[in-house]
């Protein structure tokens, strides 16, 4: 059975190449563009047989408050906390354009990595690097 990834990203064009690479390696991907779409899907469909979550940090705020999402900078963190109601032990990759070297990046990084089983990756890494982290997080080991 293929390993299944839940991916949330509001700018799909930024991750299409990564998704193609993962699919070529046998991973299934359920893709969503907004936090509320994925929450509705997981809650209503009860489809929770995922091996990993990949979430962009900066997503539309939607029903979350601007304060809790730090004006959208940390919407992905708040989404992950909501998803953990159903998928408590699922590992997560925060896949973002926010550089950790910025003040905003440092603040969001502290909040984001305070949640168990999370990894922060900067967009722009190679597909092979992403696949290596995915394999490590879901326990496949080995090289890509």
Domains of the chain by start residue, with CATH: 3-138 (3.40.50.2300)
pLDDT score, position 93: 92
CA separation for the pair 108, 28 (Å, rounded): 29
Task: Give the strands of the sheet with 92-96, arranged side by side.
Answer: 28-32, 4-8, 52-55, 92-96, 118-122
**DSSP state for residue 30 in the 8-state scheme:** E
**Per-residue pLDDT tens digits of the chain, which is 144 residues long:** 569 999 999 999 999 999 999 999 999 999 999 988 998 888 887 667 899 999 998 887 777 767 766 666 668 888 888 888 888 888 999 898 876 666 555 666 665 565 667 888 889 999 999 999 999 999 875 444
Stated pTM of the model: 0.83
Phi-psi region of 127 (alpha: psi -120 to 50; beta: other; left: phi over 0): alpha
Q: What is the DSSP string of 107-127?
A: HHHHHHTTSSSEEEEETTS-H
């Amino acid at each position: 059975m293929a390993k299944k990834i839940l991916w949330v990203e509001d700018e799909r064009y930024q991750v299409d190449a990564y998704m193609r690479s993962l699919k070529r390696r046998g991973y299934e991907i359920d893709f969503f563009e907004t936090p509320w779409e994925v929450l509705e899907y997981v809650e209503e469909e009860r489809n929770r047989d995922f091996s990993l979550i990949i979430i962009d940090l900066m997503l539309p705020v939607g029903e979350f408050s601007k304060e809790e999402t730090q004006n959208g900078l940390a919407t992905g963190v708040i989404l992950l906390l909501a998803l953990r109601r159903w998928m408590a032990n699922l590992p997560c990759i925060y896949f973002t354009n926010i550089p950790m070297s910025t003040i905003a990046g440092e603040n969001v990084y502290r909040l984001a990595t305070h949640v168990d089983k999370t990894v922060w990756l900067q967009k722009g890494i190679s597909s092979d690097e992403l696949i290596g982290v995915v394999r490590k997080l879901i326990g496949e080991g080995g090289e890509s």
